[in-house]
Amino acid sequence: MAPEEWTIRAAGGGDVAAVLDLWRAASSLPSVTDSIVGIEHLLRHDSGALLVAESGEAIVGALIAAWDGWRGSFYRLAVDPRWRRRGVARSLVRAGEARLERHGAVRLTAIVASDEVAARSLWQSLGYTRQSKRSRFVRMLSQP
Ligand SMILES: CC(C)(COP(=O)(O)OP(=O)(O)OC[C@H]1O[C@@H](n2cnc3c(N)ncnc32)[C@H](O)[C@@H]1OP(=O)(O)O)[C@@H](O)C(=O)NCCC(=O)NCCS
C-alpha cells in the first residue's frame, strides 16, 4: 500500500480520546500516563510531541517524539492492527526523528519491552541498536 494513504501530523487536544482508543486497540503495553490528563500535560509541555498517522478521519498510528532539551525520546509507538506491515510505524518514526533533529537532538532513544518481537525488529530495522550495558531504574512518585 502506498505511503500517501496516510499522513503524519502533530496531534491536538481533539485527538486525545482517539489516541487512547488506538493504544487500547493496538494492545500496546499500558503506561501509567495513558490518560486524558497525561496526554494533555504532554501537549502543554511539548506541543507537537504527539504524532499521529491519519487515514481519512481515522487515526491509525501514534508516536510520542519528546524533546526535553537534552535528549530525544520516543514513547508509546502503536499502529492499529488492521494497518500493520504497511510502513505506518516507519513513517511515524522518521517524522519523529525529523522533529527531534529540528530541535537540536543528537541522540534518540526508545524504550522497548524485551519480549516485544515486532517492536524490537522495527527499531533495529530503522537503525537503532540495543544497549546491553544499561538498565532502566524507575520510581513511582504517585499511584495512578
Ligand atoms: C511494532 C508496531 C508499532 C509496528 O508497526 P507497523 O506499522 O506494522 O511497522 P512497519 O510496517 O512500519 O514495519 C517496519 C519494519 O519493522 C519490522 N517489523 C514490523 N512489524 C514486525 C513484525 N510483526 N515482525 C517482524 N518485523 C516487524 C520489519 O522490518 C518492517 O519492515 P518490512 O515490513 O519491510 O519487513 C506494531 O506492530 C504495534 O503497534 N505493535 C503493538 C505495540 C508495540 O509493540 N509498540 C512498540 C512499542 S516500542
Across-strand partners of 78? Answer: 62
The mean pLDDT of the chain is 93
pLDDT tens digits along 83-93: 999 999 999 99
pLDDT tens digits along 38-81: 999 999 999 999 999 999 999 999 999 999 999 999 999 999 99
**d(Cα 65, Cα 75) in Å, to the nearest integer?**
7
Residue by residue, DSSP assigns 48-89 as T-EEEEEETTEEEEEEEEEE-SS-EEEEEEEE-GGGTTSSHH
Q: Is the CB of 112 under 6 A from ligand 1?
A: yes
Q: Is the CB of 125 under 6 A from ligand 1?
A: yes
The H or E element containing residue 122 is helix 117-125
Distance of CA 143 from the midpoint of ligand 1 (Å): 31
Q: Is the CB of 120 under 6 A from ligand 1?
A: no
Q: Is the CB of 133 under 6 A from ligand 1?
A: no
